[in-house]
Each structure stands twice: as structure tokens, then as C-alpha cells.
Structure 1
Amino acid sequence: MPTLTRFIPFAFVLIWSTGFIGAKFGLPYMEPFFLLVLRYALVLVLFGLGLLLWRGPLLAAHHIPTQLLVGSLIHGAYLGGVFYSISRGVPAGLVAIIVGMQPLLTALLGWLWLNERLTRATATGLLLGFVGLLLVVGGAGALSQDDAPDGAGLVATLVALMGISTGTVLQKRHGAGVPLLAGTTVQYAGALAVTLPLALLFETGRVEPTWPLVLTMAWLVLGISVLAISLLMVMIRSDQVGRVTSYFYLVPPLTMLQAWLFFGETISALSAMGTLLVIGGIYLVIRRTRRDAEPQRAQPARG
């Protein structure tokens, strides 16, 4: 079992990276916000049943508003922005690169809001990531007019980046003592509160019931929302959550590889160079975060 457990963090990140591809598979048959509304509704039913069957700890009343807000940011703004941008024609690989800067922006927000230490390695990583992002977007804009990404789609991608980064910082500050399953369930309710009004206001409710849509929804719900969360629970029980961060810098290239295999997506040389800088910056930030956390985990319990 320990041998299998060693591969769980990589499996988690690999599954997580397929979310961008899943969006691209499903969006031809359903509008982005309605697709997310259906996904969140199904997840809420499954997680609600899980709470009833396993009788896990429920959320304290004072945690509910914060978890609703976190969910509206991490699942609502983040995935809403990702799905909308892909629906506007922004390549899934490019979206993954931009929102993959989340560890960098989270480190910056943690320094500004939580007074976390900003080391030289972290500052270097932030600088590399920012320069890399400029190259990625600049390289995409240098494509022909037919291939250049949609401006509204790029703005939505930046909204997604801000959403998941801000939500992560809020969770770091207010998430202590929150039961994972109950907290995640409330978070999805917060996400539904964001995406449902957007779907009702700006979309027609068009649905083309096809097997690709059914399979995509099944994967988004069962594969990512259920399986990935289950792997996260296993990692928490085995104290491996810290190892996941060391793999997160692989999400953009994994997504780009999948986008190339399934959809033939390519990026310019300038964007490829920017991607390498972003990955390098994320690695520096994550490496420093892990090294800072290791002494705390190594301290023996007192009393």
C-alpha cells in the first residue's frame, strides 16, 4: 500500500489537469455556465448523500459564510472563468498556463494580506512568472487574426486566476478546523449561487444531448469532483498533501500535451518560452513553501 500511496499525488494532479480538456469536450453541446450549474447540482447531490451515509462531521454555523465565499471564488469564479474563456475559443493549453500561475499569485497575496514571508526565491519566482505570463499572452496575440485568442476570453481567464488565488488565501486564513467533505459541499453551494444567476441571465439553456456530453459530464462529476476529492482525502489521512504542490507545476504542460493530442492545439515559440518561465517560477515558489513547511511537520508534539 505505501508503494501505491506514493503515486497518489501525481494521479491527483494528472486528473486535475484533465478538467480543461473536459471543458473543451463538453462546451460544443452546452453553454458554459449551464454546464457548470448541472455539474454542481449533481456534485451537491452526491456529496449530500456522502454526508448522510458516512455521517461525517458537519460544518459549524460560523464557518458557513466563509466556505460559501471560498466556493464562489474557487469553484464559481475560477471554473466559471475557465469554461467561459474556452467557450470563447481561448486554447485550453493557454488557459491552463495562465491559471497555472495560481501558486505565484497566492504567494503574493499571502505576503500582502497574511504577512507571510517573501523570500528571495519566492520573489524571483514571482518575477519569472510575471515575465512568463507576458510572453505567453504576447505570443498568443502575435498569432494571425483568425487564431488570436478572444479578448473577453482572456479577461475571463484572468478572473479565474484571481478567483482561485483569492479563494485559496481566504481558505488558508479561515479554513482551519473545517471538515473536508462538509466544507467542500458548502463550497459547491457557493459556486452554484454564482453560476446559476449567470446562466439564467446570459444563456439560453441550449443543450444537445449527445454521448460526448454525457461522458464529459460523468468525468467532470465522478472523475474530477468525486475521484480527485477522494484522493485528496487519502492524502490528508496519510499526510501527503504537501507533496501535491511539487507536482502542480506540471499541470500546464500536461494540459498542453492533452490539448495537442485531442484537439491539435499548438502555441507560438514565444508562448512556449513564457510557459517555461512560468513553470520555473512556480517551481521556485512551491519549493520554498515546502521547505518552510517541513520543519513545522518535523517538530514533535508537546504535552
Structure 2
Amino acid sequence: MSASPPAVPSSALSVLAIAAMPGLFVLLWSTGFIGAKLGLPYAEPMTFLVLRFAIVAVLLALLAGLTGAPWPRDLRMAGHIAVAGLLLHGVYLGGVFASIYHGVPAGISALIVGIQPLLVAAAAGPVLGERVSPRQWAGLVLGLAGVVLVVWTKLGIGVGTPFGYALSVIALVGITIGTLYQKRYCPAVDLRSGSAIQFAATTVFLAPFALLFETRAVIWSGEFVFALGWLCIVLSLGAISLLFILIRRGAAARVSSLFFLVPPCTALVAFFLFGEQLSPLALAGMAATMAGVALVNLAPKA
């Protein structure tokens, strides 16, 4: 009778799970841009997001209640949680969805937002007291150069508009400030109750934009229902929770550098699903961002 294989220690499984989190986050986060591209033909951006955030807020509130999650003890902490949510969800996702709605390719919107590490690194020192090495600065600058090259080539051939690209820049500023704010003021918030507060606050924040500036018409096609379900469950519950866990476990500059990996992944999926193509110059820009990731993330030899 053959002996059964030795059981893997739970500590080893925990280490493997933690090691897999960055890669899983990049994959899931990349599909958010694809979900936006898939669903936006059937609903305007703020209407789409209000539906998504309202559903997620209800699901998370139910989850928090059923599992006995702790809620903030005072209004001050609840306010910090809500502000972080408005930045990470309202400004960031509102800008991304509006940008894609106004003609910016999903892969390029992902690339613009992908320069977030440069801004985080610039602010991490004075705001969080973290040290960013010269090698990391070089990587971040290289990544920025790659983004500029890609956007320049797209504008040169008339893809998207300056207004659409500006919306992606607004999204970039939102998630950069939100990442720093979340780490400084909400480092130990329960993900279930904290996220419920954030999505509820963002729903209230975005609703007037949908009421005042959009028709609020929704075409409930199969593609839209799939995109809405994917964004609610996989992105808002899965990827956002992973992001907060990574922010809590690592230095802000290194966590944010993961966003450099999202654009190539998004561009690859967008190529197969929507036919979005990149020129040789744009591909060179993508390669530059990948090199920037390596410089930021790879630890120097002892």
C-alpha cells in the first residue's frame, strides 16, 4: 500500500497565497477595463457605476452583518473611510469609465492610470515617511516615458480626444491620492464594513452626476448583465479587497508599481476581444513600462 503524500503545512500554503496575490490582483484589475468597454455601449458611465456601486454596497453590508464584521466606532473614522472610497472608486473609476466612454481605448486608459507609481513615489516620502531609492526613481521615470510615447502615438493617429485622455489623468490623480490616504488614515479597517461604507458613499456621490448629465437609460442586454455582474463580484469584491490587503502589507510605492503590469495585460485582452491594436512605437512604450516595473520591484543584491 503506497504511502500518502505528505501534507503541505498550512504556513507554506499561506506563504504561497500571499506570493500569488500580486499576480492575481494584476489579472483581475486588468479585466475591469475590459468590463467597462463591454458594458458602456448599453449604459452611460455614471449610470453604470451607480448601479454597480449600489449593488456592491448592499452585498457588502449584508456580508458584514452576517459575519459580525466590526464597524467604525466614531464618525471621524467613518469619514476617513468614505473619503478614501470617493477617491479610489468615485474619482478613479468615474474617470476611467468616462474616458473609455469618450473614445479612449481600454488599454490606453489602463496605461495612463499605470503611471500612478511615479506620483505615489513622489508623495510617499513626505506623506508616509517611506524611502524610494534612486534605482526605483529611474524605473518610475522610465515607465512614465513609456506612457507618454504610447499616448503620443495614439493622439497622432486621431484615436480618442484630449478631453477623454484628461479624464484618465483625473482618474490617475484620484487613485494616487486614494492609495496614500487609505494607507495613512485607514490602515486597519475591516474590509467588509469599510468597503460597504466606501461603496455606499460613492453611490451617493455619483448619483447627482447621473441625474443631471445623463439620460439614465440602460439596455439590459446579455453583455451588459455579464459586465455588471463581473464588475460587481470579481472586481468590486475581489480585486478591491486584494488591493487593500496589498496596501496594508507593503510599502505604498511597491504596491502601486503593480499597476505598471496592468496595461500590457489589458492591451492583450483588448486586442483579442475588441481588436484594439498597438503600433511598434506603442509596443516600445509598453516595453518601457515593463522595464520600469522591474527596476521598482526587484530588490537590490545584498
Q: Shorter-chain TM-score: which interval?
A: 0.7 to 0.9
User: How many angstroms does 1:250 deviate by?
Assistant: 2.4
- Which among 146, 149, 168 is matched to residue 135 of structure 1? 149
CA contact (8 A) 1:33 1:195 kept: yes
Aligned residues: 285
The one-letter code sitting in structure 1 at the alignment partner of 2:57 is L
- Which among 28, 47, 51 is matched to residue 64 of structure 2? 51
CA-atom RMSD, angstroms? 2.6
User: How many angstroms does 1:230 deviate by?
Assistant: 5.9
User: How many angstroms does 1:7 deviate by?
Assistant: 3.7
CA–CA distance in structure 2, aligned partners of residues 8 and 107 of structure 1: 21
CA contact (8 A) 1:67 1:183 kept: yes
Local SS of the residue matching 1:225: helix
Residues 233/87 of structure 1: CA separation in 2 closer, same or farther (3 Å cut): closer
User: How many angstroms does 1:241 deviate by?
Assistant: 10
Local SS of the residue matching 2:189: coil
| Residues 1:82 and 2:82 are matched in the alignment | no
Determine the structure 1 residue equivalent to 2:274. 263
Query: Unaligned regions of 5+ residues in structure 1, if any?
Result: 292-303
| Residues 1:188 and 2:199 are matched in the alignment | yes
User: How many angstroms does 1:276 deviate by?
Assistant: 1.9
Structure 1 runs of 4+ aligned residues shifted over 4 Å read 229-237, 239-248
| Residues 1:224 and 2:235 are matched in the alignment | yes
| Residues 1:99 and 2:113 are matched in the alignment | yes
Determine the structure 2 residue equivalent to 1:166. 177
The one-letter code sitting in structure 1 at the alignment partner of 2:286 is T
CA contact (8 A) 1:96 1:251 kept: yes
Q: Structure 1-normalised TM-score?
A: 0.85
Local SS of the residue matching 1:178: coil
CA–CA distance in structure 1, aligned partners of residues 47 and 272 of structure 2: 27
User: How many angstroms does 1:17 deviate by?
Assistant: 0.9
CA contact (8 A) 1:103 1:286 kept: no
User: How many angstroms does 1:236 deviate by?
Assistant: 9.6
CA contact (8 A) 1:23 1:83 kept: yes
The one-letter code sitting in structure 2 at the alignment partner of 1:81 is G
- CA deviations on 1:104-154 (whole Å, 9 max, x unpaired) are 2211121343343232012212321222222121111121x3xx2121110
Local SS of the residue matching 1:27: helix
Residues 207/88 of structure 1: CA separation in 2 closer, same or farther (3 Å cut): same
The one-letter code sitting in structure 1 at the alignment partner of 2:50 is V
- Which among 160, 175, 198 is matched to residue 149 of structure 1? 160
Residues 72/265 of structure 1: CA separation in 2 closer, same or farther (3 Å cut): same
- CA deviations on 1:9-54 (whole Å, 9 max, x unpaired) are 4223211210000000000000011000000000001000001100
User: How many angstroms does 1:283 deviate by?
Assistant: 3.3
